[in-house]
A = this chain, B = another copy of it.
Amino acid sequence: TAVDVALSAQSTELAGQHWVITAGPTMEAIDPVRFISNHSSGKMGYALASAAASKGAKVTLVSGPTQIPPPHDVKLVRIQSAQEMLYACRAAMANGADVFIGAAAVADFRMKDISDQKMKKTDDSNEMTLTLVKNPDIIATLASEKSAQCMVGFAAETNNVLQYAKGKLERKGLDLIIANDVSRQDIGFNNDQNQVTVLSKDQQWTPPKDAKTELAKALVQIIFDYQHTQK
């Protein structure tokens, strides 16, 4: 019957688990009207949140500005800046978490000083310099604080993708990293399709190129299987 089908679509493999997932870009203010951001659509993080929730996990989704409707059965926390994202993640994991996935495209830098008035151009200067300071490295910070049992990062790269991803995995103290070649026009940022390679310290998985919603299910399964090999 229709009810049986609906029930079987929901699985309970992740029942009792708490997953915290970040998504979207961050938006770093320059002044009251201008900001620095990036082309992340948030689709991958939202798809991961939906996939984990449909397997029965309690999911907190910490999201920068996106145009995506809030997923069902997910607690959505909206933020703008990287600092706000860090604080929201810490608050979400204050009582621990099973999995953290950093799918947001967090700005590496923010303005050193945010102007409280709109900056005006002056006729005598043809150049302007913005001085930026490094944002906290959210996932490395959370990994060092042992916020979740399984820390999963993303590496969006344009060249030497797997090599950079492996470096990030080790440097940031992650369990898994999902490597993404954003130089390819057919996948990644602002695209519905994606192809990635998941790396652990000593293993590697490459699920087929697929719609982000389908790929998210495959990634949640890989993370779930990885959790079990570690027990």
Contacts and interface: CB of A to CB of B under 8 A. Distances in A.
Contact of A131 (B36, B127, B134): B127
A1 interface: no
A34 B32 contact: no
Nearest to A117: B158
A62 B194 CA distance: 32
A149 interface: no
A175 interface: no
Contacts of A130: 129-130, 132
Interface stretch (A84-92, A104-112, A198-206): A104-112
Given A117-B159, A118-B158, A158-B118, A182 B129 contact: no
Determine how many copies of this chain the complex contains: 2
A23 interface: no
Sorting the interface of chain A by its residue count into under 10, 10 to 19, 20 to 34 or 35 or more gives 35 or more
A73 to B, nearest CB: 26
Contacts of A109: 121, 128
A221 interface: no
Interface in A188-214: 189
Nearest to A134: B126
Given A34-B36, A38-B34, A39-B35, A129 B132 contact: yes
If over half of A's interface residues share one DSSP class (helix, strand or loop), that class is named, otherwise mixed; here it is: loop
A30 interface: yes
A67 interface: yes
A98 interface: no
A183 B67 contact: no
Contacts of A222: none
Nearest to A109: B128
A7 interface: no
21 contacts: A33-B38, A33-B40, A33-B105, A34-B36, A35-B36, A35-B38, A35-B39, A36-B36, A108-B119, A108-B121, A109-B121, A109-B128, A118-B158, A118-B182, A126-B133, A126-B134, A127-B132, A128-B132, A128-B133, A129-B130, A130-B132
